Amino acid sequence: MYFAANSAQAVFEEDGLLVVGPNAEGRQVVQAIGSYQSLSKDWPSLAVEHLPGRIIAPGFVDMHIHYPQLDVIGSPAEGLLPWLENYTFPHESRFSDAGYGAESATFFIDELLRNGVTTALAFATSHPASVDALLGEAQKRSLRMIAGKVLQDQNSPDGVRDLTEQSLVDTETLINKWHGVDRLGYAITPRFVPSCSEAQLRGAGELAGRYADVWVQSHVAENLDEVAWVKQLYPNARSYLDVYGQFGLLRPRAVYAHCIHIDDEDRALMHDTGTAAAVSPTSNLFLGSGFFDYVAAERTGFLYGLASDVGGGTSFSPFSTMLAAYYVGREGQTKPGVSLKPAQLWWQHTAGAARALGLEGLVGNLLPGCEADFVVLNPKATPLLARKTTQSASLDELLFALIVLGDDRLIEKTVISDA
């Protein structure tokens, strides 16, 4: 299963062939995809691995995840701010220990792969060594991973609070060390407006201007108490999102998690600046943050895709995230909601997420030229999946069954493009 060029249209071959081989740089990429019957004659000496009853699909792309929050999953709180204070910040302070970071990074990547996620845009912590731990491990496994050191020089406790000048120096050092190395990328990572001084946001924006192909990642308008806090800090800003705009932090390859409590002017600003939203429905439901407005997003046409937001999010599994997104589409802010099609949900977590990250044509799909990151799904992985998927009368029915009933057991194998 893959997506037609420039569309969320899923293509499924009952008896398909995926041809993989090295590109000019020696990296394994897709050479061809289509029906076995039509393609096999063009590749007569191909070594073919038969996968009867299985589905090959693009590896999933997670647009927003915190690798240091593995152990924070499932920590209940009244809302975002007490959750940060009581669970997240204390836990992230442990990443001053490089050994702890390395162990967590290994576990984190194992968990991504078990769940079929082959590309992620990830927060590390404010400790520069936490970036080295994650990107070092991703490099060993040949993963496409984008990550950044969190910037948080205020309203943050000892143990995670950084120093303004040093944080910016560290960010630039990490950009030069990691960005564009093998399949790795760097993201300038101001945590969110309340945790960053004006000087730190200004410095982040200046780096974002100087390093145009580096990513920017942050959070915006997730929770009403957070929005009110930003209003106190910046009474003259038109909106929370506008604060990032004032510091030059809205641009292509800038990705903001949540984007819940925003208005159409914000949506237009996202559209006009090429800024993307990372929609994180399991996190928003768990922390009681609110609902991403799919109807408004479609109307205004800015870039967005799906994300787990572990550990506010409750699962690494893209199937959990897609199902939660479906619920949110139905019950979200604008009534009546939308009944998102399964192929749309799947696209938002693969090719659509890749497009929002500026990685279209590289990951998230299996069109010729894409890096060969893919999953092998077993639609009979559980008795109920087997019962349900054998009755699917259309591709929509099959994909919906996988989204609703699927979890890590559905991912029989995750294959990463070698070099």
Contact indicator for 310, 66 with CB cutoff of 8 Å: yes
> Where do we find the tokens 């062939």?
17
Distance CA 281, CA 297 (A): 14
* Cβ nearer to Zn ion, comparing 245 with 311: 311
Q: CB of residue 43 vs Zn ion: minimum separation in angstroms?
A: 43
**Residue 195 DSSP class:** G
Strand, coil or helix: 53: coil
Q: Are 416 and 142 in contact (CB under 8 A)?
A: yes
290 binds ligand GUN (CB under 6 A): no
Distance CA 364, CA 61 (A): 6
β 374-377/184-190 pair status: unpaired
Question: What is the Cα–Cα distance from 342 to 410, expressed in whole angstroms?
Answer: 16
Q: Is 130 in the site for ligand GUN (CB under 6 A)?
A: no
Give CA–CA dist 221/225, Å, rounded: 9
Q: Which residue is nearest to ligand GUN (CB)?
A: 312
Rounded least distance, CB 100 to ligand GUN, Å:
17
Distance CA 385, CA 402 (A): 7
Residue 84 contacts which entry, ligand GUN, Zn ion, none (Cβ below 5-8 A, type-dependent):
ligand GUN
CA atoms within 13 A of residue 214's CA, in its CB half-sphere: 27
104 binds, among ligand GUN, Zn ion, none (CB under 5 to 8 A by kind): none
CB of 287 to Zn ion, least distance (A): 10
Report the DSSP beta bridge partners of residue 303: 276
Nearer to ligand GUN, 128 or 406 (CB): 128
Nearer to ligand GUN, 69 or 119 (CB): 69
Nearer to ligand GUN, 18 or 121 (CB): 121
Site string for Zn ion, 293-322 (x = CB under 5 A): ----------------x-------------
Closest C-alpha to 167, from 215, 225, 126, 139: 126
Residue 137 contact among ligand GUN, Zn ion, none, beta carbon within 5 to 8 Å by kind: none
In this structure, is the dihedral angle defined by the CA atoms of residues 162, 166, 172 and 176, taken in order, positive or negative? negative
Binding flag, residue 66, ligand GUN (CB under 6 A)? yes
Q: Which stretch binds ligand GUN (CB under 6 A): 46-54, 80-88, 157-165, 265-273?
A: 80-88
Query: Nearer Cβ to ligand GUN, position 159 or 361?
Result: 159
Task: Choose between 12 and 229: whose C-beta lies nearer to ligand GUN.
Answer: 229
Interaction residues for Zn ion, span 231-290 (CB under 5 A) = 257
191 binds, among ligand GUN, Zn ion, none (CB under 5 to 8 A by kind): ligand GUN
The end-to-end CA distance of the chain, in Å, is 24
**């096999």: which residue's tokens?**
40
How far apart (Å, rounded) are the C-alpha atoms in residues 324 and 411?
19
Task: Name which of Zn ion, ligand GUN, none residue 281 binds, using a CB cut-off of 5 to 8 Å depending on partner kind.
Answer: none
Residue 283 binds to ligand GUN (criterion: CB under 6 A): yes
| Segment holding 178, helix H or strand E | helix 164-178
222, 266, 360, 373: residue in contact with ligand GUN (rule CB under 6 A): 222
Fill in the amino acid letter for 384. L
290 versus 406: smaller Cβ distance to ligand GUN: 290
Which does residue 88 touch among ligand GUN, Zn ion, none (CB within 5 to 8 A, set by kind)? Answer: ligand GUN
191 touching ligand GUN, by CB under 6 A = yes
**DSSP β-ladder status, 28-35 and 374-377:** unpaired
- Tell me which residue has tokens 């989204």: 403
- 62 counts as binding ligand GUN under rule CB under 6 A: no
Cβ closer to Zn ion: 223 or 414?
223
Residues 292-311 that bind ligand GUN (CB under 6 A): 309
CA dihedral 248, 249, 251, 253 (to 10 degrees): 150
In the complex, the residues that contact Zn ion under the rule CB under 5 A are: 257, 309
List residues near ligand GUN by CB under 6 A. Answer: 66, 80, 84, 88, 191-192, 219, 222, 283, 309, 312
